[in-house]
Chains A and B, each alone.
Chain A
């Protein structure tokens, strides 16, 4: 009798290109990125970190609504997004607003999403994406469909989706990767393993040593990546994308990462379930620190560059929050109007009632 679990698990080693000191440890897999690309990735990570800090402050001032902090996960989020083409389709989880922004969602609309205004979800034509999914795992089954659609249309594009470590426990997670595998659909499934599903540690989520190995059961490629190393995440996503559009099917990418902040700004207190030691251990792996060291070593990044991005981000945020706050208040009549292509009689009747109410 042969027991294979240990052998299977040992195959999933963490893929890394830059170590914590910003040194290349894996020259062979170094992606082909120009100096401009490298600087742009850094710019986006710094910008997104500032956006996170300002969003938390705005939430505390009551000027934003629902917000899930992103600091710590920039490499996972932006490294993967940087590997996409504009026509690719993103199905994000609730923490994945940065990917939408860098794929073309205007900042003021991201703020409107947070404030609970439907205009935040009326995406510009060039952005092929859904608004962030709230039901954990639902986006995984939808991704199989979007990807199959690309295949049926003969397009060289991918559907990419995101969930967290907790999401891998959902039935929809497995149904999604299994469907995409069965149809050899061009999909990329990203699991940002930030070690805690709200408070439950990943060790209590599953007996799997890695989340990447769950790909084996679905018969698709899987890889575990250092999610604090933006080059590794980029390279893994680019490889998955190339194989997907080549007809080689979907890939599951687990990124090992950490959210520095709380689960959301709605009362979560991470000190109830995470130790200071663990926080400190992961702070050393900060994706911005590591990539900054790497770029400074190549003389591609300076304090001046950094300050320029910070100013740019702060300026954009100021304008965007103003624009979001100037948006006309959402009306119940707008909500009624968005239910069906043609209003059925019950809603016609209710439309009249709310028109009257809202005219006062």
Chain B
């Protein structure tokens, strides 16, 4: 099996679907000859031609509208928003338009669009590049929001997203793009959207995370093991819709939960997960559900980023609090 970085797995997924379905179109700012600012579309224009993989003018709302119009013509657009912090420029096209197309037409039109975008902190970007804005998307009915944490899942989930007949927001954590390699089958496969994955089994406490925080949680779990705490780690993988079944099953088993997100405490999706646990599993709980999140400020200037971002030590601290409640 091939060893790939997450960015290679993402390119591989797009190549697979460009080959499989002539209606798949990949476009965005600099995605053509340049192969995207992160090289996610490297080589795709050469391989599939400018008709299928192309540059757009520099305007995010235009990119969103273009995707909707192409979807109305039976294409499967895969637009890239260069950095997800720029999503405010295309909020109407995403939340006001593509999310509602099936609904407002009573099922007559659909928007099989996959909006890809890098996001996430820890790589010292300028402003508006690193924000975790998945919560904004997860609050919009009509969208699915996917955040992979490994190269294997990135490829399988992206193929699923492109094949999905509803709009999917596919968020790629920049810190995970090249920080490690993982096994990725060269053949095509899918990972189901809306299904969480138990990344580590444990019996004492459930850690629920997504994106880069999955890796922080796994690191925390290793540390906790040394102190005799056996943590289960759940990777949500999809933050809308959330796989509560997997979450609740685990929490009922462990009786304790900590929810972890890179987003600010007031943002992200942790609050939803916590609310669902207390509604459906409160009698199984041995302690309050706690959360690890960033402070409620605008995203940190990069000089303060390392302290601002939640890390494995913050997770260990909260786990100790629920263990000793």
Known: A141-B93, A346-B241. Is A339-B69 also a contact (CB below 8 A)?
no
The answer to whether B73 and A149 have CB atoms under 8 Å apart is: yes
Nearest to A330 among chain B residues (CB) is B106
- Count, chain A residues at interface, CB 8 A: 41
* Complex interface bits, A343-356 against B, C-beta within 8 A gives 1, otherwise 0: 01111000000000
Contact residues in A for B105 (Cβ distance below 8 Å)? 118, 121-123, 130-131
Contact residues in A for B74 (Cβ distance below 8 Å)? 149
Contact residues in A for B109 (Cβ distance below 8 Å)? 130
B-facing residues in A315-360 (Cβ within 8 Å): 334-335, 338-341, 344-347
Contact residues in B for A119 (Cβ distance below 8 Å)? 106
The answer to whether B96 and A141 have CB atoms under 8 Å apart is: no
Judged by a CB distance under 8 angstroms, whether A145 is at the interface is yes
Main secondary structure of the interface of A (DSSP, over half): helix
Nearest to A159 among chain B residues (CB) is B69
Known: A118-B104, A142-B72, A182-B57. Is A135-B96 also a contact (CB below 8 A)?
yes
The answer to whether A122 and B245 have CB atoms under 8 Å apart is: no
Judged by a CB distance under 8 angstroms, whether A143 is at the interface is yes
CA distance A89 to B65 in the complex (A): 15
Judged by a CB distance under 8 angstroms, whether B34 is at the interface is no
* Complex interface bits, A68-92 against B, C-beta within 8 A gives 1, otherwise 0: 0000000000000000000001000
Contact residues in B for A297 (Cβ distance below 8 Å)? none
Interface size class of B (residues with CB under 8 A): 35 or more
B-facing residues in A112-162 (Cβ within 8 Å): 118-119, 121-123, 130-131, 135, 138, 140-150, 152-153, 159
Which among B65, B97, B166, B194 has the highest number of chain A CB atoms within 10 Å? Answer: B65
Nearest to A344 among chain B residues (CB) is B241
Which among A142, A150, A178, A335 has the highest number of chain B CB atoms within 10 Å? Answer: A142
CA distance A149 to B76 in the complex (A): 11
CA distance A127 to B142 in the complex (A): 24
Contact residues in A for B72 (Cβ distance below 8 Å)? 89, 130, 142, 145-146, 149
Q: How many whole Å from B112's CB to the nearest CB in chain A? A: 9
Contact residues in B for A340 (Cβ distance below 8 Å)? 102, 142, 144, 166
CA distance A105 to B276 in the complex (A): 44
CA distance A171 to B89 in the complex (A): 10
Judged by a CB distance under 8 angstroms, whether A9 is at the interface is no
Contact of B64 among A123, A141, A150 (CB under 8 A): A141
Judged by a CB distance under 8 angstroms, whether B244 is at the interface is yes
Contact of A121 among B25, B106, B110, B142 (CB under 8 A): B106
The answer to whether B241 and A153 have CB atoms under 8 Å apart is: no
Contact residues in A for B25 (Cβ distance below 8 Å)? 152
Judged by a CB distance under 8 angstroms, whether A94 is at the interface is no
B-facing residues in A168-202 (Cβ within 8 Å): 171-172, 175-176, 178-179, 182
Known: A149-B74, A182-B57. Is A144-B244 also a contact (CB below 8 A)?
no
Q: How many whole Å from B25's CB to the nearest CB in chain A? A: 8
Which among B56, B64, B73, B141 has the highest number of chain A CB atoms within 10 Å? Answer: B73
Contact residues in A for B313 (Cβ distance below 8 Å)? none
Q: How many whole Å from A279's CB to the nearest CB in chain B? A: 34
Which among B61, B71, B245 has the highest number of chain A CB atoms within 10 Å? Answer: B61
The answer to whether A338 and B102 have CB atoms under 8 Å apart is: yes
CA distance A119 to B105 in the complex (A): 8
* Complex interface bits, B104-147 against A, C-beta within 8 A gives 1, otherwise 0: 11111110000000000000000000000000000001101000
Nearest to B141 among chain A residues (CB) is A339
The answer to whether A176 and B110 have CB atoms under 8 Å apart is: no
Contact of B65 among A150, A175, A341 (CB under 8 A): A175
The answer to whether A179 and B104 have CB atoms under 8 Å apart is: no
Known: A175-B61, A179-B57, A339-B141. Is A148-B69 also a contact (CB below 8 A)?
yes
The 6 lowest CB-CB distance pairs between A and B, nearest first, are A145-B69, A141-B65, A149-B73, A344-B241, A175-B62, A146-B69
- Return 20 A-B CB contacts under 8 Å, by A number: A118-B104, A118-B105, A119-B106, A121-B108, A122-B107, A123-B105, A131-B105, A138-B97, A143-B65, A145-B70, A148-B66, A152-B51, A152-B70, A175-B59, A175-B61, A176-B62, A334-B106, A338-B107, A339-B142, A346-B241
In the complex, given contacts A142-B65, A145-B70, A338-B102, what are 17 additional A-B residue pairs having Cβ atoms less than 8 angstroms apart? A123-B108, A135-B96, A142-B68, A145-B67, A146-B69, A152-B25, A172-B62, A178-B57, A179-B57, A179-B62, A341-B102, A341-B110, A341-B164, A341-B165, A345-B244, A346-B241, A346-B242
- A residues sitting closer than 8 Å to B (CB atoms) are 89, 118-119, 121-123, 130-131, 135, 138, 140-150, 152-153, 159, 171-172, 175-176, 178-179, 182, 334-335, 338-341, 344-347
